[in-house]
Structure 1
Amino acid sequence: MDGRRPVGWWVRRLDELLEQGLDDVVAAEGLGRRHWQVLQSVAEGQADRAAVSASLASFAGAGELDGVLADLGGRGWLTAEGERLQLTADGRTAHARLAAAVGAFRRSVAAGMTEEEYAQTVAGLARMVANLERTRAGGG
């Protein structure tokens, strides 16, 4: 491992590999990462379109979200009554199947790390994000 690279390089490379790896996991179902994110968001209780849209704002624009919602609806995995989104029985089954595969992928990402090391890594990244957001907001 090249420890001389700056954190930005590692974050970008990790993001690329996470995107590719998760896309590979969900591709077995003919899905993309956004499909998984929507299924997970709705399963976690974000039951309206605005909440799902807000949680995915950094990842997907409204047009992409509309396409994903239409695809999941077409598969019979998701229903929409107005702004309210709900997984169907088939959607809950698909979510459970995908959650198992995504969980295995996530465990492989952290292989060789203790729970403490993982928590420290996430906490350090969260602190860096907070620092940069504060700086961008003019808080120094």
Structure 2
Amino acid sequence: MQQQRPVGWWVKRLDELLERGLDDVVAAEGLSRRHWQVLDSLAGGPSARPELAAAFASFATPGRVDVVVADLAARAWVEDRGGLLALTDDGRAAHGRLAGAVAAFRRRVADGLSAEEYAATVAGLARMVANLER
């Protein structure tokens, strides 16, 4: 029965499990998956608010991104540096505390898949997205 389910069912179910699983991973810090995504994005370097919101357009509205940024700023993990959002030292420390647990979760997601199988799965999904975006 499971193999007969269409790709949409599997994608939706995987998204639900990824959302819940990553929320569980970062919950000890009182965070959600969106918080992690913003922290991880800013760990790569400062970003203007519109670019940050655009990067998460598939996951959250700009208003939701603003709420997450405001929460991270209230924790003194993110600050505005002349129009660019950047992690503070405390924000980098928080990212460091969470990075290992997030990496372990990601390994768990791909458990049993070879690197080639994982790459083929991602490539197949990317092609499906591109097909529907045309």
Alignment TM class, shorter chain as reference: over 0.9
Q: Deviations over 1:74-110 (max 9, x none)?
A: 1111101342111111110111111111110000000
- Is 1:15–2:15 an aligned residue pair? yes
Moved >6 Å (runs of 4+) = none
Instruction: Give distance in 2, aligned partners of 1:119 and 1:127.
Output: 12
Name the aligned partner's letter for residue 7 of structure 1.
V
1:72 — aligned with what? 72
**1:44: Cα distance to partner?**
1.6
Between Structure 1 and Structure 2, how many residues are aligned? 134
Higher mean displacement: 77-86 or 120-129 = 77-86
Instruction: Give distance in 2, aligned partners of 1:20 and 1:75.
Output: 23
More helix by share: 2
Higher mean displacement: 90-99 or 38-47 = 38-47
Q: Where does 1:40-55 land on structure 2 (aligned, <5 Å)? A: 40-55=40-55
**1:120: Cα distance to partner?**
0.4
2:94 — aligned with what? 94
Higher mean displacement: 23-32 or 45-54 = 45-54
**1:65: Cα distance to partner?**
1.4
1:58 — aligned with what? 58
2:123 — aligned with what? 123
8 Å contact kept, 1:43–1:87: yes
TM-score under structure 2 normalisation? Answer: 0.95
Q: Deviations over 1:26-70 (max 9, x none)?
A: 111100111111111111225211111110111111221111111
- Is 1:34–2:34 an aligned residue pair? yes
Instruction: Give distance in 1, aligned partners of 2:130 and 2:62.
Output: 26
Higher mean displacement: 17-26 or 76-85 = 76-85
2:3 — aligned with what? 3
Higher mean displacement: 5-14 or 77-86 = 77-86
Name the aligned partner's letter for residue 17 of structure 2.
L
Identity of aligned residues (%): 66
8 Å contact kept, 2:110–2:118: yes
Instruction: Give distance in 2, aligned partners of 1:96 and 1:81.
Output: 21
